[in-house]
Amino acid sequence: MEDFDVRTSVLILLFTLSLGICHADLNQNSGLLCSAADNSTSESSFRVNLDNLLGLLTEKRPSSNGFFKTTVGKRSGKIYGLIQCRGDVSADNCANCTREAFAVALRDCSKSKNVQVWFTWCSLHYSGEHFFGVWDQDSAAIFNKTNFENASIVSRGFDFMSEVATMAPKRPLMFHTAVLDAGKFGKRYGMAQCTRDISRRDCSRCLDTQLMTFRSSIENNRGWEVYGSSCSMWYHDYQFYSNISITANDGESRSPSIIILC
């Protein structure tokens, strides 16, 4: 049974944690947040600006290490948009995730001006209001109630993720992965990432706040994910990330970014 815990905002969450022997890191729709319906979204100028925003975010993202923000339009018709892909996915999968996120936004939030969509591999945010550089505390945790952690690993796992949260803001892309060797209990894999429009200080505050906010819900689970407007965290007992950066050191993208472990 899947469950979710929301402390700072109400989000629509769709997520399934695999319990099988074979694990795959698949790009699933993990959450959606739509503002109240706004009749101005039906105006042709807004639709044109939104289409232009989609084009820019999809085109520019690979050359920006999976992160790009821009503004389209003027005055009241201005739209601020941001896309960020998870730091280990390829440029092609990042582009595909961007298109999928926009498809969901246009389908499920067609009358909203402030929209956020979370997929496993990317997050999309666009709004008629300026939000760049502002730490947003909206977050939601998703986990499986029946997939409990071994009691002797619970505190070690939480301390491990606290270390991951400490390291992420210090990394060039505010993205960090790590492995915890739990001996006879196997390994645990952690990842943390902040949107690159916020400061490193706010990145640290964002990740720490997520851990403290959801601790009672997630710390005894073998797998959980927290998605937020400004930062996100992942913790699993299998290697879900691909260790493939969006842009390699030589500037060439690498693919694929789907990991299947049996």
- Digit-coded pLDDT (tens) for 3-40: 544 444 434 343 333 333 335 678 888 888 888 877 66
Is the pLDDT confidence value at 165 over 90?
Answer: yes
Q: Is residue 158 part of a domain?
A: yes
- Residues 142 and 72 grouped into a single domain: no
Domain containing residue 43: 30-127
Specify if 20 maps to a domain.
no
Domain assignment present for 21: no
Judgement on whether residues 161 and 244 belong to the same structural domain of the protein: yes
User: pLDDT at position 3, please?
Assistant: 53
Q: What is the pLDDT of residue 118?
A: 94
pLDDT at residue 152, as a whole number? 92
- Which domain-ending residue is among 74, 96, 127? 127
pLDDT band at 107; cut points 50, 70, 90:
very high
17: in domain: no
Q: Look at residue 145 and tell me if it is in a domain.
A: yes
Q: Which of these, 109, 82, 89, 77, lies nearest to 26 by C-alpha position?
A: 89
Does residue 41 surpass a pLDDT of 50?
yes
Interatomic CA distance for residues 167 and 174, integer angstroms: 8
Map residue 232 onto helix, strand or coil. strand
Average pLDDT over every residue of 207-236:
95
- Global pTM value: 0.82
Share of the chain above pLDDT 70, in %: 80
Which of these three, 127, 156, 190, is where a domain ends? 127
Residues across the chain: 262
Q: Are 63 and 91 in contact (CB under 8 A)?
A: no
Pair 65, 147 in one domain = no
Average pLDDT taken over every residue of the chain: 82
Q: What are the tokens at 82?
A: 């941001």
Contact 86, 71 (CB under 8 A): no
Domain count, the chain: 2
| 106 and 222, same domain (yes or no) | no
| Counts for the chain of helices (H) and strands (E), in that order | 4, 13
- The candidate with the shortest Cα–Cα distance to 119, out of 95, 149, 155, 151, is 95
Residue-level pLDDT at 22 = 39
* Domain edge (last residue) among 106, 127, 148: 127
At 177 the pLDDT is 95
| CATH label of the domain that carries residue 188 | 3.30.430.20
Residue 62 is predicted with a pLDDT of 58
Write down the pLDDT at residue 258. Answer: 31
79 and 139 part of one domain: no
Residues 73 and 204: their CA atoms lie apart, in Å, by 33
User: Does the pLDDT value for residue 70 go beyond 80?
Assistant: yes
Q: Are residues 98 and 167 in the same domain?
A: no
Close Cβ partners of 154 (under 8 Å, ≥ 6 residues apart): 219, 220
